[in-house]
Amino acid sequence: MTDARLQLAARMGVLPGFHDLTGQWRETSVESAVALLAAMGLSVPGEPEAQAALDAHADLLPQDVICEAGAAPDLAPAAWQLSFEDGTQLEGSGALPALPLGIHRLQAGGRDFTLLAAPPRLPEPGRCWGLVTPLYGLSASGIGSYDDLGRLAVGMAGQGAAFLGINPVHAGFPTVPWLFSPYTPSHRRRLNVIHIAAGQGTPGPLVDYARDIPARMAALRGEFAAFTGDPAFDTWQAGQGESLQRFALHQALSERFGAFWGDWPAAHVSPDTPASLAARAELAQEMRFHAWLQWRAETALAAAGRAARGAGMAHGLYLDLAVGTHPFGAETWEDRASFAFGASLGAPPDAFSADGQNWGLAPFSPLGLRAQAYAPLAETLRRQLQFAGALRIDHILGFERAYWVPEAAPGAYVAMPRDAMLAVVRIEAARAGAVIVGEDLGNIPEGLRAALAGSGVLGCRVAMFEREGWQPPHFRPAEGYDRDAIASFSTHDLPTWRGWRQGCDIAARARLSGNDPAPQLAERGAEVAGFDALLPDPGMDALHGFLARTPSRLVAVQAEVLLDLAEQPNLPGTTTEYPNWQMRLPVPAADFAALPNVARTASIMRDNERQEDS
């Protein structure tokens, strides 16, 4: 008989196992099941506790019902109470009314329902292209700013780019200058204030966060000291409500107790404790400072977006939503119920990481999302789409299943409510008129790409991975690419065009491991020859011509490729061994669009009818 702990885990969405990239079946152990149940808030150390939970358990979470916006859901309860998203309430019996776009709640027959009224599919964008670039590296000195972003957007719009993509700009940890990875945020519903233009920065080929973050924060404090007030700020702050106050309190307490609330005194590990509530009066001015920083960041990012659209960019900014959040940052402190604790997001063992990966990020809990009618996900998306006409969702494989790594047991997959989460995406994207891209790379669950395409969510087609055969390498021709996708040569986690051809990533890893790179370099040589067989010549223009000819609706041109750089922005699996997220572009934002390489690429895109009007 199956262990009761495994039965309970299966009921809660923990998958019984998975096939890794080699085809090997990896079964979920009892140890892993117990650890992941604990992360969901269910403590079942032994079978008796698990059996008791199974016997007592009834699915008290709301039931998800997805319907088309403007139509009535296929429900006809004898009696019901309907709460629309705008707060309006209605009672009745029998068939429900047609529902407007949004997330609504229903009570009927002693049960709660979440009604997701969404468009069946997002509209297809026109054929276009855009630039993706590291925001932090856009300035000639210091940290790239939202003002730099606006200048670059105007220049690239003049060259015909339809979007300008950057790394995530979620709120980070300004009191911890070494924790600057844009993919380890403190709060995904707030902005990173280190990108507000202020003060003088340190020049050099690498961004010096250790110097420049404290210097920028000091300059911003000086500006705040001279701030006498602004009705626009007061109106904005009032509109942000309690969520902003909690975030500002977290930031103020961080300066007193340290960046991570897991290390704080027990009296302050929640925003609702008596001590935390009392601290609001004492820290009122400091909280106002952090609210003002968010206002400044939002004002600057919104201005960059308006500049992009005003100059003719069809989609404007293309932002990036990180897959998870720091387990002890502002987001989890404010919204504990939405996350699992004691387990991190990661990736299973594969050819590149024999032991798997632990990303150190707190995952959304499927139970928490369902209990709150997906409000945390909807708000997170809405905050990004407030500024962007296109949004990339990092590791969208997590909408199907997320790999959770507990602290002292092997990892396992947890099923997520995919269809409901995609409905939320369609709702928020439809409101904003936005394009959504899902990063669907890696060990892809069966059926996910079809579900994304059915929702109108574009996938990612990375040329170095698009192959019809691996041994020997046989690359997919341009006409074989998917239509519902954004095509690029690489990503921020992979080598540049020059770096891939020269094997710079292989050499970098060999320097760190001490292994002989010769076999991998020989394999890379065969890969380069295989890709070159699809091109008229091995140049940058030929690469961009190849991407432009694909059926994929969007093409992303990378700044590092246009600048013919060899080093990639990030080398996964490294921290201080490689200058991740630090490399400055050798051309500042204001001068970038005037480069000859940019003009030639723009001409190639026009010749291939990649021009979408704003």
pTM of the model: 0.96
- Report how far residue 561's alpha carbon sits from residue 559's, in angstroms, rounded to the nearest whole number: 5
pLDDT at 353 over 70: no
Query: What is the rounded average pLDDT of the residues 163-182?
Result: 97
Of 326, 364, 359, 331, nearest to 345 (Cα)? 359
User: What pLDDT score was predicted for residue 23?
Assistant: 79
User: What pLDDT score was predicted for residue 19?
Assistant: 84
Positive/negative CA dihedral, 516, 518, 524, 528: positive
Strand, coil or helix: 486: strand
User: What pLDDT score was predicted for residue 408?
Assistant: 86
The gap from C-alpha 140 to its chain's centroid, in whole angstroms, comes to: 27
Cα→Cα distances 589→147, 149, 211, 253, Å:
9, 7, 21, 36
Beta bridge partners of 413: 403
User: What pLDDT score was predicted for residue 325?
Assistant: 97
pLDDT digits (tens, 9 = 90+) for 179-229: 999 999 999 999 999 999 999 999 999 999 999 999 999 999 999 999 999
User: What pLDDT score was predicted for residue 1?
Assistant: 60
Percent of the chain at pLDDT exceeding 90: 89
Beta bridge partners of 65: 115
- Report how far residue 384's alpha carbon sits from residue 382's, in angstroms, rounded to the nearest whole number: 5
pLDDT digits (tens, 9 = 90+) for 32-57: 999 999 999 889 989 998 899 888 76
Please list, residue by residue across 291-307, b when 16 or more beta carbons sit within 10 angstroms of its beta carbon and e when fewer do.
Answer: bbbbbbbbebbeebbeb
Q: Element (H or E) spanning 19, and its range?
A: strand 17-19
Cα→Cα distances 141→175, 191, 199, 275, 295, Å:
21, 21, 11, 42, 24
Question: Which residues, 6 or more positions from 407, have their beta carbon under 8 angstroms from its beta carbon?
Answer: 35, 342, 343
Strand order in the sheet with 401-406: 357-361, 343-347, 401-406, 412-415
pLDDT digits (tens, 9 = 90+) for 263-298: 999 999 999 999 999 999 999 999 999 999 999 999
pLDDT at 364 over 70: yes
For residue 313, name the pLDDT band (cuts at 50, 70, 90): very high
For residue 573, name the pLDDT band (cuts at 50, 70, 90): confident
Cα-based torsion angle of the residue sequence 270, 273, 275, 277 in order, rounded to the nearest 10 degrees? 90
pLDDT digits (tens, 9 = 90+) for 536-552: 999 999 999 999 999 99
Strand, coil or helix: 177: coil
User: What pLDDT score was predicted for residue 413?
Assistant: 96
- Report how far residue 326's alpha carbon sits from residue 263's, in angstroms, rounded to the nearest whole number: 14
- Report how far residue 31's alpha carbon sits from residue 412's, in angstroms, rounded to the nearest whole number: 11
Tokens of 399: 């909408």
pLDDT at 614 over 60: no
User: What pLDDT score was predicted for residue 158?
Assistant: 97
φ and ψ at 451, to 5 degrees?
Answer: -70, -40
pLDDT digits (tens, 9 = 90+) for 480-506: 999 999 999 999 999 999 999 999 999
User: What pLDDT score was predicted for residue 20?
Assistant: 78
Tokens 């770096």 belong to residue:
499
User: What pLDDT score was predicted for residue 443?
Assistant: 81
User: What pLDDT score was predicted for residue 351?
Assistant: 58
For residue 58, name the pLDDT band (cuts at 50, 70, 90): low
Q: Element (H or E) spanning 360, and its range?
A: strand 357-361
User: What pLDDT score was predicted for residue 373?
Assistant: 97
- Which one is predicted more confidently, 614 or 382? 382
User: What pLDDT score was predicted for residue 71?
Assistant: 97
89-92 and 80-83 strand pairing: antiparallel
User: What pLDDT score was predicted for residue 612?
Assistant: 75
Of 148, 535, 26, 554, nearest to 314 (Cα)? 554
Domains (range + CATH), the chain: 128-169+300-607 (3.20.20.80)
Per-chain mean pLDDT for the chain: 95
- Report how far residue 449's alpha carbon sits from residue 457's, in angstroms, rounded to the nearest whole number: 9
